[in-house]
Amino acid sequence: MVSLEKSWLSAYLPYSEEERRRIGEFLKVRVPSYGSLCLHCKGGRMLCGKSCCPLIVKAEKLLGQLRSIDSEKIQGSTPPSVFVGRIGYPKVYVGPLIPPFHGDTAFLDTPETWIGRGLEDIVNFRSTLVRGKFPVSADQPLRGGSLFEKLQEMALAARPVDAEALFAQKPQGAIVLSDEVQPFGPSAPLRAFWLSNVHADRVVEKCYYDDDLKAGEAVLQLYRDGVPVSKIQRCFSLGMFGDKGRRRVVPTRWSITAVDEAISLSLLREVRRYPPVGEYRVYAFKNLDNIFTAIFLPEAWSFEWIEAWFPGTVWNPQGREPELMGDYEGFRGRTTYADVGGCYYAARLAAAEALSRERRQAKVLILREIRNGYLLPVGVWNVRESVRQALKTQPHKFASFLEALDFAMRNLSVPLKAWLPRSVILRQALFQRKLADFSPQG
């Protein structure tokens, strides 16, 4: 780690001599062990191919944030928001995320409301939240200590909670010199924190105190009661549901996918019994320079998700052609973890919700193009909320698959011949005949 002023980044940041002394040392710059293109680029040569330097965007936000924190104490209204790290599992760092101001801060950690916000806003939301951290054993949430109990109490809140935190040192911001790390606010080890005005969410509280209700069932029950996925996931990550002896703390990243998976599996059990949709459909939606296109086929449920990372985006920094990756499941679902990871499950949840609402099933193919304006990955919520949004728009309807496909391809810049070898559903639809094609009536 080096301090900011010794790094090339300082040249891009508008801060004064005085500020440099005051906060410079609290903004650290870390070089990832696997090396980084950014070291050669230094923000000026645009080697990563993005439209502007994601590091400078992050650094500016973080700097703005550090300006407003000048002690080991912070006061503010937490949305409520928590983070559970995954490094060192099963010994993990957990803690509250608190912004340095009061008010209705719920939006800061409610991705369900972020559609339509620019990348700038999203980075801002993330950087604003100051993270306190302390260690717990993931497998012993009941022995997490008083800090941990308070954290659970906070997570139960229905509305933002006024909080005050005392850190072991002044919070530091870290910028990793790599364009593939999600933006994060400053953080520091937590000594103590105090809450006032906690109004527990009754529905969630009931599941928390139910020692016999299994975690999976609690998740479903809350979902059916209309609790937002992000809130369920937050409590799930703190090991607040399940059989008393079997509760676990779950790193935030894993808990998001666990909740997406549990809910979609349950919805799909019903969806598989509904009649198919009546026609071929194409839905399209754009968010943060990501293009989402969903094709519904009037057939039995199966699902495929394919993403095309354009040259210069996070997972394809050096390529000349878009890089495609995806995964598929048939009618009976899958037994292995999808290669593409969390976004598969987030997208599948959105698709299952839409079908369940309509009481229909369909064969669903969702294509995502990630273009250069997507400077940095903002999280799996982007996929869940964008696909949800896409499937709420009025679809274009077609009588044949070829018409639907032709229309869908007009929205996309990756050509059909690139999607085809990656897609099970496209190949099935184009090449696999059905038995009815050979029946007497045709």
Binding site for another protein (CB under 8 A): 272, 299-302, 330-332, 363, 428, 430-441
Question: What's the closest the beta carbon of residue 300 comes to another protein, in angstroms?
Answer: 3
Q: CA angle 403-404-409, nearest 5°?
A: 100
Question: What's the closest the beta carbon of residue 388 comes to another protein, in angstroms?
Answer: 25
Chain centroid to Cα 336, Å, comes to 21
Question: What's the closest the beta carbon of residue 355 comes to another protein, in angstroms?
Answer: 14
DSSP letter for 129, please.
P
**Sequence-separated contacts (24+) of 250-255 with Cβ below 8 Å:** 250/84, 250/138, 251/84, 251/85, 251/86, 251/89, 251/92, 251/138, 252/82, 252/83, 252/84, 252/85, 252/86, 253/86, 253/342, 254/86, 255/84
- At 187, list the tokens: 């953080």
Q: Which is nearer to another protein, 14 or 440 (CB)?
A: 440
Residues 6 or more apart in contact with residue 394 via CB below 8 angstroms: none
Residues 6 or more apart in contact with residue 441 via CB below 8 angstroms: none
Q: Which is nearer to another protein, 46 or 300 (CB)?
A: 300
Question: What's the closest the beta carbon of residue 361 comes to another protein, in angstroms?
Answer: 9
Q: Which is nearer to another protein, 228 or 298 (CB)?
A: 298
Q: Which is nearer to another protein, 143 or 434 (CB)?
A: 434
Q: Which is nearer to another protein, 299 or 369 (CB)?
A: 299
Question: What's the closest the beta carbon of residue 268 comes to another protein, in angstroms?
Answer: 13
Q: Which is nearer to another protein, 87 or 435 (CB)?
A: 435
Question: What's the closest the beta carbon of residue 432 comes to another protein, in angstroms?
Answer: 5
CA distance 226 to 222: 6
Phi, psi (deg, nearest 5) at residue 58: -65, -45
| Torsion angle (degrees, nearest 10) of CA 130, 135, 140, 145 | -80
Give the side-chain half-sphere CA count within 13 A for 142: 10
Question: What's the closest the beta carbon of residue 434 comes to another protein, in angstroms?
Answer: 5
Question: What's the closest the beta carbon of residue 239 comes to another protein, in angstroms?
Answer: 31
Q: Which is nearer to another protein, 247 or 363 (CB)?
A: 363
Question: What's the closest the beta carbon of residue 367 comes to another protein, in angstroms?
Answer: 20
Q: Return the closest-CA partner of residue 258 out of 332, 346, 334.
A: 346
Q: Which residues pair with 333 in a beta bridge?
A: 330
- At 171, list the tokens: 């919070």
Q: Which is nearer to another protein, 14 or 442 (CB)?
A: 442
Q: Which is nearer to another protein, 219 or 295 (CB)?
A: 295
CA distance 257 to 338: 11
Any idea how long the chain is? 442
